[in-house]
Amino acid sequence: MGKDPSVTVGELGEGRVLQRVLAQLRPAETAVLGPGDDCAVMRVQGDLVVTSDTMIEGPDFRRAWHSGFELGWKLAATNLSDVAAMGARPTGLTVSLAVPRDTPVILLEEIAAGLTAACDAMAPGCGVVGGDLGTAPVITAAVTALGDLEGRPAITRSGAKPGDQLAYAGDLGLAGLGLSLLFAEACDEGVAHSRTLPELWQRQPEMLAAQLAPTPPIPLGIVAAGSATAMMDVSDSLSLDAERLAKASGVAIQLDSALLAAAFGDQGGVPVPVAAMLTGGEDHGLLATFPAGAVLPAGFRRIGVVQEVTVGGTALQLDADAYEAKGWDPYTVQLPGQ
């Protein structure tokens, strides 16, 4: 017989919930000791990189839009991209979930299956090595990702030099368009809209996939590490993160609207305006700088140039003009319905 989808975590209890969740996970290849003890034990070859992120139901995701599988996938993708941006190989994740007592156990199993599938697809050998379960008024997830530099130096935000090429790999602007589409047309918390979620998936699968289950180019982090002078994950918007890279490196960055339009104006048949590329968030692609004469690694497209900071000049320009960076800030952005 199949599992009862109505059984909740409160009815089953922590021990039996964990048994069902762990059955959906595969061990990380570098785990000497995986889930089940006080700590996991990992084997690494070089320096270890560590990053953490939280996702909270409401501001970060909505159950009306995300399936459990998509949520697990996104939890993995958003953290794997940070590891890749350092030029490291993702090796393991710890995932802590706090959920209401009436949460169906099957939802946690779907989240675990999404985590496993995302690791298999984007970072083979990586897996969940531990975590925690708890209770909270809304679903709250905290993920820590680990990566191995394997003897390579870390690629940071602070190494860009005047004259470097600015390049990007991954989707750009699609996730922001997908979020706008969801707010405009998808059913959410009983609010009537013009289309249901399945209809939107049929009409705009590229936008929704980029927002609900992104697939950043994780393997390209290691590829770029051979020649990149600086690199970072683009999560809040291209303009915000390019400005952060510029300030960390003590340089100015000039984005080129013609290069952006040529490289990313058509993504999978979806027209993407330059404005959406600049201000949309959650694409989780890789923004990197490379020496002027370097051949860009496959998958990276040139979108601008690194310049000297002039007296009274700005850290970010679009073409020849100063540009005010805009994007996601959890403390200032007001989402519809909040």
Q: Which residues of 284-308 are buried (b: 16+ CB within 10 A; e: fewer)?
A: bbbbbbbeeeeebbebbebbbbbbe
pTM, full prediction: 0.91
Q: What does the alpha-carbon distance between residue 250 and residue 307 come to, in Å, rounded to a whole number?
A: 10
pLDDT at 2: 61
Confirm whether residue 157 is marked as ligand binding: yes
Q: How many CB atoms are located within 10 Å of the residue 3 CB?
A: 11
Element (H, E) at 52: strand 48-56
Q: What are phi and psi of 135, to 5 degrees?
A: -115, 150
Average pLDDT along the chain, 338 residues, taken 10 residues at a time = 78 86 86 86 92 94 92 98 98 97 95 98 96 96 97 96 98 95 72 67 94 97 97 96 97 98 96 96 96 96 95 88 86 51
Residue 103 and residue 141 in contact, taking contact as beta carbons nearer than 8 Å: no
Rounded Cα gap, residues 183 and 50, in angstroms: 33
Task: Report how far residue 8's alpha carbon sits from residue 106's, in angstroms, rounded to the nearest whole number.
Answer: 8
- Is 235 known as a binding-site position? yes
Distance (Å, whole) CA 273 – CA 177: 10
**Is 148 known to sit in a ligand binding site?**
no
What local confidence, expressed as pLDDT, does residue 190 receive?
46
CA distance 338 to 324: 26
Amino acid at 250: G
**6 carries a ligand binding annotation:** no
Give the number of C-alpha atoms closer than 13 A to the C-alpha of residue 280, restricted to the C-beta side: 24
Residue 27 has what pLDDT? 81
Residue type (1 letter), 183: F
Question: 328 among the known binding-site residues?
Answer: yes
The pair phi, psi for residue 18, each rounded to 5°, is: -60, -40
227 is in an annotated binding site: no
In the 8-state DSSP scheme, what is residue 37?
B
Q: Taking the C-alpha atoms of 170, 78, 207 and 157 in order, what is their torsion angle to the nearest 10 degrees? A: -40
Q: Is 52 annotated as a binding residue?
A: yes
* Domains with residue ranges and CATH for the chain: 9-148 (3.30.1330.10), 165-322 (3.90.650.10)
The tally of CA atoms less than 13 A away on the side-chain side of residue 83 is 32
- The amino acid at 155: I
Helix extents (H) in the chain? 9-12, 14-22, 68-85, 105-122, 174-185, 197-203, 205-212, 220-224, 238-249, 257-264, 274-279
Taken in order 158, 42, 77, 38, the sign of the CA dihedral is: negative
Q: What pLDDT is attached to residue 304?
A: 98
Q: 33: how many CB neighbours lie within 10 A of its CB?
A: 14
DSSP character for 244? H
Is 78 annotated as contributing to ligand binding? no
Q: Establish whether 131 is an annotated binding residue.
A: yes
Confidence at residue 14, expressed as pLDDT on a 0 to 100 scale: 82
Residues 132, 62, 240, 169: is their CA dihedral positive or negative? positive
